[in-house]
Amino acid sequence: MIQDIEPKRLANEYSGKTPGKGSRLMAFQENQILVKKGETADFVPYEMLQAWCTRCGAKLPDMVYLFSVGETKYFLTDLPEKFLLWLTENAFLESESVPGYEWISMFEMRSRRPKEQIFAVATAWHLYVWYRDNRFCGRCGQTLVHSEKLRMLKCPDCGNMVFPKIAPAVIVGVTNGERILMTKYAGRAYKRYALIAGFTEIGETAEQTVAREVMEETGVRVKNIRYYKSQPWGFDSNLLLGYFCELDGDDTIHMDTEELSVAEWVDYRDIPDDTEGLSLTREMMIYFRDSRRKLHEEM
């Protein structure tokens, strides 16, 4: 899964670290990230911006420390417009060759590697969205300031404390003997099979979300709800909670056509391999397939 980057680790302890040589800058606009051209996921080095600022007499922009992966520290920043132009056009330097940079969508980033960089960019995106959408106090309208000790924004006037927003959602593998309930979303870029999924509402447990979402999307009842694993999914500001459960009673599907374009029982032998290796959804499908296979081999 996206977070499985051992022996590396994404160290997310908050601190007021300052950027230095080797630090990487995460710059977003709309749903895109600035990345070096090519197949990999290389972000703008701090020293490149620093050298450019020195040369042009420009002021370094503000930078917020995000996290570290190994020795590399990551910072969120709004890069100056002229610097972006220089980066993308490869201009300005007489002797050195400067790699070109491009804006690519967060969805396209999923196909780049190495995986720890994809996890880093998804996590940076989650933090970026939170900072972007929490500039002012929702209670009194004052500009929020960053706490020196915590990943928290606080209001200097009324004392309101704003913590990172993480939306819990469930992923559900509903099994029915040799088959598992698979779906495809209606009207989304992601066209492959998915499992039932949905956000936890205020006032319910994750297990209640499981039963409610399965009923809403497919009209079937479930039993024996069991927790599997969780996954941070920064692309959508989620914490995903994976559950398996079993069909309880009638297997007739009444699909919610607003949400889904396909909902069907799929035999474990028809579940394709996971070539991406990022999502909890895919891992759960493979887990079901492989545990069924093993069961048959043992019989």
Comparing CB distances to Zn ion, the nearer of 158 and 295 is 158
SS3 category, 30: coil
In eight-state DSSP terms, residue 113 is B
Question: With contacts defined by CB under 5 A, how many residues of the chain interact with Zn ion?
Answer: 8
Report the site for Zn ion in 155-174 (rule: CB under 5 A).
155, 157-158, 160
Listed ranges 38-46, 81-89, 152-160, 174-182: which one lies at the site for Zn ion (CB under 5 A): 152-160
- Residues near 95 by Cβ (< 8 Å), separated by ≥ 6? none
Comparing CB distances to Zn ion, the nearer of 70 and 141 is 141
Comparing CB distances to Zn ion, the nearer of 162 and 172 is 162
Listed ranges 78-86, 102-110, 154-162, 266-274: which one lies at the site for Zn ion (CB under 5 A): 154-162
Give the pair of three-digit tokens for residue 39: 């197949």
Query: Is residue 147 within 8 Å of residue 153, measured between CB atoms?
Result: yes
**Adjacent-strand bridge partners of 33:** 28, 104
Comparing CB distances to Zn ion, the nearer of 78 and 157 is 157
Query: Is residue 90 within 8 Å of residue 102, measured between CB atoms?
Result: no
Among 54, 111, 142, 224, binds Zn ion (CB under 5 A): 142
Among 37, 139, 223, 294, binds Zn ion (CB under 5 A): 139
- Does 192 help bind Zn ion (rule: CB under 5 A)? no
Give the pair of three-digit tokens for residue 147: 């706490």
In eight-state DSSP terms, residue 194 is B
Listed ranges 60-68, 71-79, 103-111, 148-156: which one lies at the site for Zn ion (CB under 5 A): 148-156
In eight-state DSSP terms, residue 235 is G
- Sign of the dihedral defined by the CA atoms of residues 100, 101, 104, 110, in that order: positive
SS3 category, 12: coil
Listed ranges 50-58, 63-71, 151-159, 291-299: which one lies at the site for Zn ion (CB under 5 A): 151-159
b/e per residue, 75-88, with b = 16+ CB within 10 A? bbbebbeebbebbe
Among 137, 153, 225, 245, binds Zn ion (CB under 5 A): 137
* Site residues for Zn ion per CB under 5 A: 137, 139-140, 142, 155, 157-158, 160
